[in-house]
Amino acid sequence: MNLQRRHVRLFAAVLTAALIAGVVAGCGQRGPETGGRILLIGIDSADWDIIGPLVEEEKLPNLTALVESGVSCDLHSLEPKQKSPTIWATIATGKLPDKHGITDFMDPLTKKILTSNVRTARTFWDIIGERGMTVTVIGWLVSWPAEVVNGYMVTDYFRYSPKPDRPLPKHLTYPDDLRDEVELLRVVSEDITEEDLDRFIDLDAAMTADEAQRLPIEQMFVEMRGMSELEQLANSLRDILAGDRTFLSVARHLMRNRPTDVSIVYLRGVDSASHKFWAAAHPGEVGFAVSRTESRVFGSTVARYYEYADEMLGVLIDEFGDGTVIVCSDHGFEGPKPGQTPGGINDHGPIGILVMSGDAFKNGVRIPERSVRDVTPTILALCGLPVGDDMDGSVIEDAFEPDFLRSHPLRRVPTYERTE
């Protein structure tokens, strides 16, 4: 797909109301000029080191087009390493964990899953929604239960299919009756066919039992175990695909039937596939035995999933239409090192990706590294809104065209948090 540069439709509106109730002081009486339509796609774990060779091989045409038409940079994650919900909460609020309250998947004391009502800082979609921009939020980590937004929300819990002993909870969507509309769009593992898997794995390359029996005894046992795990690994891939396809399907439906000014879509598959199949692609680097069967069958699965993520990116951009496109990740991926326990944050790398393409941004420019803390302040600036003094991030000024900053001077406000 050869994408043209995506354009932002900027429109001016003079607002006479105060910036937000209770924080007028220092803001003046002139309201912000709001930005045009925005599509933000979060690709968990996307890493430039993996993307680079695929770009050179022309296998990521949609991301390549965005990089060539916009601004890109390394996006430094939180350190010491944090879990994904914590980082995505920082991306959404511009604040560090001590301010937004999402510190893990689960509360370390109560062992209960952390939910959106634990978050103690407002998100950028809440802030811009209050200022009149309509928003759609799909699949964001720790978004259940769905919060009231100026538009629509489909939470991260929506992707799970109900079971007799585990019915799905209430408030999977906002408004609640949106659930009936999108219910049939959920993709489950059983929907993923053998043909669907064929683009990601090479099942015919698996070692046969006869081949394994001719190996030295120790290696033979490794191979036999690898062959016994093939179905389990394939089913894991089915589940990964089902999650991303669910949110892709929901996003397309809502963009087509309930378009909003801002669409936010989170895709987890790259991260899940990287955790599951990294060892198959790097058998000599992970510090534990990897069977030849696993390496042959799943050795290219991670790279192929990046290609699929790029395909989903193109579908979302085409469905969304004209506007600014932002793609970011919460961290990179480097796989487990010898001596490390594989899985979880041990596999993560410190550097993710950020790409921003639209009329407000420079064209085809690589800028110095920035932080996950800077995404929300930059989106607020794009929308003509001040940045909160209590945010830990700052606007990525060198990403913007000088003309945009001259017509939309950066401003600040003490806080967007509600005090009541």
- Give the model confidence (pLDDT) of 337-367 as tens digits: 888 878 889 999 999 999 999 999 999 999 9
CB atoms within 10 A of CB 215: 15
- CATH, residue 325: 3.40.720
Number of domains in the chain: 1
CB 15 within 8 A of CB 412: no
Assigned domain for 411 exists: no
pLDDT of residue 221: 67
Whether the Cβ atoms of residue 255 and residue 323 lie closer than 8 Å to each other: no
Residue 361 placed within a domain: yes
Residues near 328 by beta carbon (within 8 Å), at least 6 away in sequence: 40, 41, 42, 43, 75, 91, 352, 353, 354, 355, 372, 375
> Would residue 30 count as lying in a domain?
no
Q: Please report which confidence band the pLDDT of residue 216 belongs to, taking 50, 70 and 90 as the band edges.
A: confident
Q: pLDDT by residue (tens digit) across 122-140?
A: 999 999 999 999 999 999 9
Angle between helices 84-93 and 375-382 (to 10 degrees): 30
Binning pLDDT at 50, 70 and 90, where does residue 209 land? Answer: confident
In a domain, 119, yes or no: no
pTM comes to 0.90
In a domain, 22, yes or no: no
In a domain, 409, yes or no: no
What would the pLDDT profile of 245-280 be if each residue is shown by its tens digit?
999 999 999 999 999 999 999 999 999 999 999 999
Q: Is residue 50 part of a domain?
A: yes
Containing structural domain, residue 149: 38-81+124-380
Residue 279 lies in a domain: yes
